[in-house]
Amino acid sequence: MRRRVVFVAFEGFQMTDLAGPADVFATADLLVPDGGYRTEVVAVRAGAVAALNGIPVLAGGALREVTGPIDTLIVVGGLSVPACLDDRELVGQVARLADTARRVASVCNGAFVLAEAGLLDGRRATTHWLVARDLAALYPRVEVDADPIYIRDGDVWTSAGVSAGVDLALALVADDHGHALARDVACGLVVYLHRPGGQSQFSTAMRALAPPREPFRELQAFIDAHPADDLSVPALARRTGMSERHFSRVFTAQTGLPPGRYVELSRADAARRLLEITDHPLERVARECGLGSPETLYRVFRRHWRISPGDYRRRFHLKES
């Protein structure tokens, strides 16, 4: 039987949150015609629902008219989600349909709708990193983790922002039909297969603030461009003409990260890029990124990306045709 996937939309939703996962399921359906997927879009009222970009999408049915069983219920995200939390019809119907669904998922800040419906209470969940603190503050019974791309807690799945919805959908397909099919779907859509849920949604640039003072903006750029250089606190302090103590204090205030942590993250990002675009052995990657040894490279990757360097390369290596 084809699995029924129901997307919940609303005025002002993020189009990619819907279109990306929907294309994953549609491609999987082509590859497994007897056991694939059929997708539908529903909203509080049937009819055209305008996305944030102004493009209307047809909701084939009203939420209150939808009956089970549902295989997968997915709530998309968008800038209008905060206003949607006051829509008792939307939240109540999502809670009702969740009872008829085998599993429930959200993309981006669609997690707020799940939380408002009580579906994340006592569960670990993620959302877009920009609003993770808000989710935790509004719903203290939810264990919010802002780092992963997606999280599965039992039969409830949540994902980070926008493109992470594709990773979530690929993970759902892999859970249903195995990683081989998910790989074929990813190849057909020309997307990475598939970022593991535990992989961080942050890069160094996203984790750190842009320093307001010019010397520190230049220093930040220098660190990112020269990972193999001496980037110790004494060396960096000398470049700014400051004492080590004063430099560490000002750098942390300017970027939001202590200098040692920023340097390690920058080197981890550099290693990530080399693993994607080169065939260099791990010894060379570690050396060129200032991490010294494959053992240090491994520890840094596990700490920040929650994946080994070798596994990362197998998933994301870009080979020239």
Question: So what's the pLDDT on residue 157?
Answer: 98
User: Which segments of the chain have a pLDDT < 70?
Assistant: 190-210, 316-321
pTM check: above 0.75: no
Output the 3-class SS for 140-159: CCCEECCCECEEEECCEEEE
Output the 3-class SS for 34-49: CCCEEEEEEECCCEEE
Question: So what's the pLDDT on residue 311?
Answer: 85
Closest C-alpha to 40, from 56, 54, 26: 26
Residue 303 Cα distances to 16, 149, 150, 185, 292, angstroms: 30, 15, 17, 30, 16
Facing residues of 159 across strands? 150
Sorted by where each starts, the structural domains of the chain and their CATH numbers stand as 3-189 (3.40.50.880), 204-316 (1.10.10.60)
Write the burial class of residue 165 (CB in 10 Å: 0-12 exposed, 13-18 middle, 19+ buried).
Answer: buried
Question: So what's the pLDDT on residue 176?
Answer: 95
Question: So what's the pLDDT on residue 190?
Answer: 67
Residue 150 Cα distances to 40, 160, 163, 299, angstroms: 22, 6, 11, 22
Sheet holding 156-159, edge to edge: 61-62, 37-43, 3-8, 70-75, 101-106, 156-159, 150-153
Question: So what's the pLDDT on residue 264?
Answer: 92
Question: What is the token pair recorded at 86?
Answer: 């006051």
Question: So what's the pLDDT on residue 259?
Answer: 94
> Could you give the 3-state DSSP secondary structure of residue 66?
coil
Closest C-alpha to 75, from 60, 56, 95: 95
Question: So what's the pLDDT on residue 196?
Answer: 52
For tokens 């290693």, the residue is 271
Question: So what's the pLDDT on residue 35?
Answer: 82
Q: Is 164 left (phi over 0), alpha (psi -120 to 50) or beta?
A: alpha
User: How, if at all, do strands 70-75 and 61-62 pair?
Assistant: unpaired
